[in-house]
A and B are shown apart, each in its own frame.
Chain A
Amino acid sequence: MAENNIEVADLGCGDVCLLMILKYQKCIEELVGVDINEERLKWNGFRLSPCMGDHLDPRELDLIITLYHGSVLEKDCRLLGFDLVACIELIEHFDSEDLAKFPEVVFGYMSPAMIVISTPNSDFNSLFPSAVFRDSDHKFEWSRMQFQTWALDVANHYSYSVEFTGVGEPPAGAEDVGCCTQIGVFRKIAKATESAVLEHHGEHVYEVIYTTSYPSLQQMDYCRRVVTYLVYREVNRMKRRYQVSLRQHELEPESADTGNPTRKFISDPPVPVLTEADKAMEMISQPFCIGDKFYVPLERIIAYPRLGHICGNVEKLREFLADVVELNCDGSAVKVDLHDCGDY
């Protein structure tokens, strides 16, 4: 999933295990879980809340996680237009009547770009000692043939393509039973006119049990914070390098501690490889010193890839730094005391 701003829904999310894994994915912007068991959602909601680290080092993209209490067989307009809908070990819990309704809701109504459906592969059951369903609540367990027939039928009806795969490799010698769990990956066959239909109107049937929003660089205050810290970090680093070079001028020649095994422990900050463009940048905007003040041109700071990525241009960077960091009079460089370094 290379593109950004992905929206994912997990139908029958249960203990939110899948959502827990997905919330770490950087490209996802919205996560939704739907389950019929309200108690479990209430319990598990907090597992999805932002970590302390998410505040210290915010994500790039916003992320909103919402848990809904409701039946997958009911239509709720808030589930329209997702990029991916996952139905992991869900359909085998439906009786025939519900199973018949299911494609209409998920494929027909929600109509996401991609649907992943997994269900037990009953061919594999021959490897199990007892001949019962894997869970007492299972209404059926399908063979690969049964599942694929159903899946192809549904896919054709709602203009999806489908690919089959599975997890849980069979043991040696029993390869012909296939994977323990069979998976169908459905992709919508694109229709140019489709997007217009995706208007979010309709009913809100599901009840919101839990919702949380993650700090991210898309939020101004977090972004400003991160930029400020990065700028200070870079400026201090350059200042230290400058101080070291001053000292080396004084005490030349310094014994080089080559051959020391610890040398390798820490490689340089993440700008060790300078591209031609960076080198050019270094040429024009080096940090400099006037009196006991140390200046780093904003041009130089923005050459640091992460800052460049967040701010885009010097104007934006200046805007971020306004009132937080001292700049020189024409606002072209960050100004700090040379000797008053914040180290300890």
Chain B
Amino acid sequence: MSGRARARARGMALSPSAAEVGRVQASPLPLSVALSDSEASSSSDHVGTSRISQKCEGGLSSGDAGCTFKERVGKIRREMMDLSVCTREKLAHVRDCKRGSSGIPVKLVTNLFNLDLPQDWQLYQYHVTYSPDIESRRLRIALLYSHMELSNKAKAFDGVILFLSQKLDEKVMELSSETRRGETVKMTITLTRELPASSPVCMQVFSIIFKKILKKLSMYQIGRNFYKPSEPVEIPQHKLSLWPGFAISVSHFESRLLFGADVSYKILRNETVLEFMTDLCHKTGMSCFTQTCEKQLIGLIVITRYNNKTYRIDDIDWSVKPTHTFQKRDGTEITYVDYYKQQYDITLSDLNQPVLVSLLKSKRNDDAEVRMAHLIPELCFLTGLPGEARSDFRLMKAVAEETRLSPLGRQQRLARLADDIQRNKDARFELETWGLHFGCQMSLTGRVVPSENIIIQDHICQPVSAADWSKDMRTCKILSAQSLDKWLVICSNRAERVTESFLSCLRRVGRPIGFNVNHPKIIKVQENPAAFLHAIQKYVDPEVQLVMCILPSNQNSYYDSIKKYLISDCPVPSQCVLAQTLNKQGMLMSIATKIALQMTCKLGGELWAVEIPLKSLMVVGIDVCKDAFNQGMVVVGFVASINPRITRWFSRCMLQRTTADVADCLKVFMTGALNRWYTHNQGLPGRIIVYRDGVGDGQLRTLIEYEVPQLLSSVTEASSNTSPKLSVIVVRKKCMPRFLMETGRTLQNPPLGTIVDSGATRPEWYDFYLISRVACRGTLNPTYYNVIYDDNGLKPDHMQRLTFKLCHLYYNWPGLISVPAPCQYAHKLTFLVAQSTHKEPSLELANSLFYL
């Protein structure tokens, strides 16, 4: 709505920056494993008392890196789980070669670094037992580490599992150590596994090694990333500090072990929770202060002033004050005020503040009771951006400006990190003892596939820029458009004048493109959401083709209530426009053009097409998105093309009660889409290609074992003889590798249509990267495609080019987009339902792009 209208008005400028900013958001897993293991070790109910012991653990983990194995190895990280799903071996046509051939080769630099290991390198996994048994992990580690036998070896130990890069002389080794109390403890070290360097367990050990190295470069771990607080970027007018840092990963790509690093920023707010509350209190007044406060704060991640820990705010306890007491671990009672004074020499200034409650979940043993931590708002810093801040255009722009890095700037950051790692004595020592060598940055060759022609009604045009062909088609007739005869415009009294001028403009731009706009019925109402809704209810009858609302403000209540009614209760396509958008006089023509095109689509029109060599191909986009209001609900969107030209779309959407993002209803959707295709084309499609977006880490197996069979059964049941052939492709907009093109002495983003299918891909998958977007500023993120099921047996080259073609077909933007159009449509649909309507759209609208 508002965002969209604004984006439209502003044109391209927002789209790269919005994406950039998206990447900056707080990490989705803010409480890292490293933090949780220290939480698990302390047994106190109050943060106060447990703090010291937590510190100890924290210190240990940085000192020896061993202590995180239990989670890491016992509970393999989710993306690692995906790696064990080998889909390529089942796809005969790509078993030998998954590389395409068309296009012009282009030399690309990656953000991946070679990690060289000796050829016969192995990791040795040992199990360690103690006699007499020792509970304390700290003591277990201390005893083992102090032993001469192991002192100069590269090792990682969590108290139970020991990893060494050199084999011990014997398979079972007995050592004895003496505690400081003089007891003799026997340690039995038994070899359990020898792991090749490509094993997922090794990846985790490597990750831990690098974690240790980055800590030595004085970086802090927040979530999974590492940040340098000593070189912050400050945006004081918005109370923001941005810490530069890196997201890192070590993994096995095509033929080698690679270290990947991507620049990341952590947004910290130079604002304590108390200041935030005070501000909010002044803003909202007292009456709804507590509710608003809870709504805004719960779920946010805070950093405490006095230690390196992050907590999630789970609740606010308004009944507890800093002057209240809590029980320390030794049983004594102390007030929060005294505690912080004694422990941290901090004087609390506000004795009336409530306390924040954070639940500390122990990851180690699931049955452990959930413990609570009480935090003092004054001592907690906010991190990340609150939802409302994201819609603050100025703020987001300020953030984007600071965080957007040019390709060259990004490369310089990476080079500096590599340099730091190679130069730091401790880091080098650490790598050397493990036998690792930090090598050079990897380059590879990609291909730039030819650009596509855009088919409009009377001719085929070769756009000047594939990124934006709005200029090329300003006066061209679109493929098909229904004329708009009976429609309503609802506006406030104040907006009457702008509405009139906008409508005449709309008629003017509609004619040349072939969209006839007749005079609407204009209804003037008061400026409140109820009045708008009431007018709609009163005047919409079955003959109304479209309702346009000129909204006086971008309050969600207008948009949400209108959309909810017109999408589910009384299905009519609707178009919301912000009055302030129409006030931009100079831009009215381009705004009107964009809105005219959007309205055409909502009425079932087709704008343009690309050449699709495959006859009888149905493409499907699936996206899954969490409902904004109802926790535990997800919205599944399904969009399928229903004509061979791929210009008309059928959509279904469903809310489902599940925590996993797995689409449960796909069979029904698919069958519906096939029926629709049948009625339009008197037959079934020969091929179906499904693009599945919204897949989280670790869900690949579920997709293969659950979703693909659902789709397949629908497809096979559809026909008794030859059923359509199915392919399923997982689409990911976020991936570690980035590609930059060297041009002379500088670096640039790679050109549109760049495909990478070697080097940075995985040997066990049929995957490729595609760049189908431009960025005027900043660095591009490639989109990652993983073909997990493929009956069609298309050549990799054809699969890649078809995917590229599909990125041209999103009617909300006259240019290429970063994902295939069906994915973007599905995303639009799920977003609308998840954010605004929270209700399944009516089937009557299923044949139009009502969700644009």
Q: Do A and B bind each other?
A: yes
* In the complex, residue of chain A having the shortest beta-carbon distance to the beta carbon of B288: A262
- Known A47-B56, A342-B238: A257·B286 in contact at CB below 8 Å: yes
From B241, B349, B353, B354, A56 is in contact (CB under 8 Å) with: B241
* B63 beta carbon closer than 8 Å to chain A: yes
Q: Please tell me if the beta carbons of B277 and A55 are within 8 angstroms of each other in the complex.
A: no
For residue A266, which residues in chain B have a CB less than 8 angstroms away from its CB? Answer: 274, 277-278, 281, 350, 352-353
Q: How far is the CB of A183 from chain B (nearest CB, A)?
A: 18
Q: Please tell me if the beta carbons of B215 and A46 are within 8 angstroms of each other in the complex.
A: yes
Q: Please tell me if the beta carbons of A20 and B52 are within 8 angstroms of each other in the complex.
A: yes
Among A102-110, A155-163, A225-233, A276-284, the stretch that binds chain B is A225-233
Contact code string B221-236 (vs A, CB < 8 Å = 1, else 0): 0100000011010101
Q: How far is the CB of A132 from chain B (nearest CB, A)?
A: 9
Residues of B773-795 contacting chain A, CB below 8 A: none
Q: Please tell me if the beta carbons of B60 and A43 are within 8 angstroms of each other in the complex.
A: yes
Determine the interface band of chain B, counting residues with CB < 8 A from chain A: 35 or more
* In the complex, residue of chain B having the shortest beta-carbon distance to the beta carbon of A336: B237
Among B39-47, B301-309, B583-591, B697-705, the stretch that binds chain A is B301-309
Query: Cα distance A266–B290 when bound, in Å?
Result: 11
Among B77-85, B381-389, B403-411, B498-506, the stretch that binds chain A is B381-389
For residue B349, which residues in chain A have a CB less than 8 angstroms away from its CB? Answer: 270
Q: Please tell me if the beta carbons of B350 and A267 are within 8 angstroms of each other in the complex.
A: yes
- Known A47-B59, A55-B232, A136-B181: A244·B282 in contact at CB below 8 Å: yes
- Known A51-B308, A52-B220, A257-B287: A229·B270 in contact at CB below 8 Å: yes
- Known A51-B307, A56-B241, A135-B180: A46·B230 in contact at CB below 8 Å: no
Q: Please tell me if the beta carbons of A53 and B285 are within 8 angstroms of each other in the complex.
A: no
Query: Cα distance A135–B178 when bound, in Å?
Result: 12
Residues of B325-357 contacting chain A, CB below 8 A: 343-346, 349-354
* B391 beta carbon closer than 8 Å to chain A: yes
* A203 beta carbon closer than 8 Å to chain B: no
Q: Please tell me if the beta carbons of A343 and B283 are within 8 angstroms of each other in the complex.
A: yes
* In the complex, residue of chain A having the shortest beta-carbon distance to the beta carbon of B220: A52
From B180, B239, B386, A232 is in contact (CB under 8 Å) with: B239
For residue A136, which residues in chain B have a CB less than 8 angstroms away from its CB? Answer: 180-182
For residue B764, which residues in chain A have a CB less than 8 angstroms away from its CB? Answer: none
Q: Please tell me if the beta carbons of B303 and A52 are within 8 angstroms of each other in the complex.
A: yes
Q: Please tell me if the beta carbons of B241 and A324 are within 8 angstroms of each other in the complex.
A: no
From A39, A262, A324, B236 is in contact (CB under 8 Å) with: A324
* In the complex, residue of chain A having the shortest beta-carbon distance to the beta carbon of B305: A53
Q: Please tell me if the beta carbons of A43 and B303 are within 8 angstroms of each other in the complex.
A: no
* In the complex, residue of chain A having the shortest beta-carbon distance to the beta carbon of B229: A55
For residue A267, which residues in chain B have a CB less than 8 angstroms away from its CB? Answer: 350-352
* B444 beta carbon closer than 8 Å to chain A: no
* In the complex, residue of chain A having the shortest beta-carbon distance to the beta carbon of B308: A51
Residues of B224-268 contacting chain A, CB below 8 A: 229-230, 232, 234, 236-239, 241, 268
For residue B63, which residues in chain A have a CB less than 8 angstroms away from its CB? Answer: 42-46
Q: Please tell me if the beta carbons of A265 and B283 are within 8 angstroms of each other in the complex.
A: no
Q: Please tell me if the beta carbons of B59 and A240 are within 8 angstroms of each other in the complex.
A: no
- Known A257-B287, A263-B286, A266-B350: A342·B395 in contact at CB below 8 Å: yes
* B55 beta carbon closer than 8 Å to chain A: yes
Query: Cα distance A135–B182 when bound, in Å?
Result: 8
* A15 beta carbon closer than 8 Å to chain B: yes
* In the complex, residue of chain B having the shortest beta-carbon distance to the beta carbon of A226: B270
Among A21-29, A119-127, A289-297, the stretch that binds chain B is A21-29
Q: Please tell me if the beta carbons of B234 and A225 are within 8 angstroms of each other in the complex.
A: yes
* B146 beta carbon closer than 8 Å to chain A: yes
Q: Please tell me if the beta carbons of B389 and A344 are within 8 angstroms of each other in the complex.
A: yes
Query: Cα distance A284–B304 when bound, in Å?
Result: 39
- Known A26-B345, A49-B218, A343-B279: A215·B230 in contact at CB below 8 Å: yes
* A57 beta carbon closer than 8 Å to chain B: yes
* In the complex, residue of chain A having the shortest beta-carbon distance to the beta carbon of B377: A266
Q: How far is the CB of B600 from chain A (nearest CB, A)?
A: 35
* In the complex, residue of chain B having the shortest beta-carbon distance to the beta carbon of A55: B229
* A260 beta carbon closer than 8 Å to chain B: yes
For residue B277, which residues in chain A have a CB less than 8 angstroms away from its CB? Answer: 265-266
* A129 beta carbon closer than 8 Å to chain B: no
For residue A135, which residues in chain B have a CB less than 8 angstroms away from its CB? Answer: 180-182
Residues of A226-250 contacting chain B, CB below 8 A: 228-229, 232-233, 240-241, 244
* A264 beta carbon closer than 8 Å to chain B: yes
* A202 beta carbon closer than 8 Å to chain B: no
Q: How far is the CB of A2 from chain B (nearest CB, A)?
A: 12
Query: Cα distance A268–B351 when bound, in Å?
Result: 11
Q: Please tell me if the beta carbons of A262 and B220 are within 8 angstroms of each other in the complex.
A: no
Query: Cα distance A21–B339 when bound, in Å?
Result: 12
- Known A260-B286, A342-B395: A53·B236 in contact at CB below 8 Å: no
* A340 beta carbon closer than 8 Å to chain B: yes
For residue B215, which residues in chain A have a CB less than 8 angstroms away from its CB? Answer: 46
For residue A25, which residues in chain B have a CB less than 8 angstroms away from its CB? Answer: 345
Q: Please tell me if the beta carbons of A233 and B386 are within 8 angstroms of each other in the complex.
A: no
For residue B345, which residues in chain A have a CB less than 8 angstroms away from its CB? Answer: 24-26
For residue A3, which residues in chain B have a CB less than 8 angstroms away from its CB? Answer: none
For residue B230, which residues in chain A have a CB less than 8 angstroms away from its CB? Answer: 55, 215
Residues of B269-295 contacting chain A, CB below 8 A: 270, 274-275, 277-279, 281-283, 285-287, 289-290
- Known A44-B59, A53-B381, A267-B350: A260·B287 in contact at CB below 8 Å: yes
* B145 beta carbon closer than 8 Å to chain A: yes
* A269 beta carbon closer than 8 Å to chain B: yes
* A176 beta carbon closer than 8 Å to chain B: no
* A137 beta carbon closer than 8 Å to chain B: yes
- Known A20-B52, A25-B345, A49-B218: A39·B146 in contact at CB below 8 Å: yes
Contact code string A204-232 (vs B, CB < 8 Å = 1, else 0): 00000000000100000000010011001
Query: Cα distance A268–B220 when bound, in Å?
Result: 34
Residues of B47-74 contacting chain A, CB below 8 A: 52, 55-56, 58-60, 62-64
Query: Cα distance A268–B277 when bound, in Å?
Result: 11
Contact code string A43-86 (vs B, CB < 8 Å = 1, else 0): 11111010111011100000000000000000000000000000
6 A-B pairs with CB atoms under 8 Å apart are A21-B343, A24-B345, A45-B63, A55-B232, A229-B236, A262-B318
Seed contacts A265-B318, A344-B395; 17 additional CB < 8 Å A-B pairs: A16-B59, A24-B306, A46-B63, A46-B215, A47-B62, A55-B232, A56-B303, A56-B305, A225-B234, A228-B236, A229-B239, A233-B239, A240-B283, A264-B352, A265-B281, A266-B281, A342-B239
What are the 6 closest A-B residue pairs judged by CB atoms, nearest first? Answer: A136-B182, A47-B59, A43-B63, A55-B229, A53-B305, A46-B62
Q: Residues on B close to A: CB < 8 A?
A: 52, 55-56, 58-60, 62-64, 145-146, 180-182, 215, 218, 220, 222, 229-230, 232, 234, 236-239, 241, 268, 270, 274-275, 277-279, 281-283, 285-287, 289-290, 303-308, 318, 343-346, 349-354, 379, 381, 386, 388-389, 391-392, 394-395
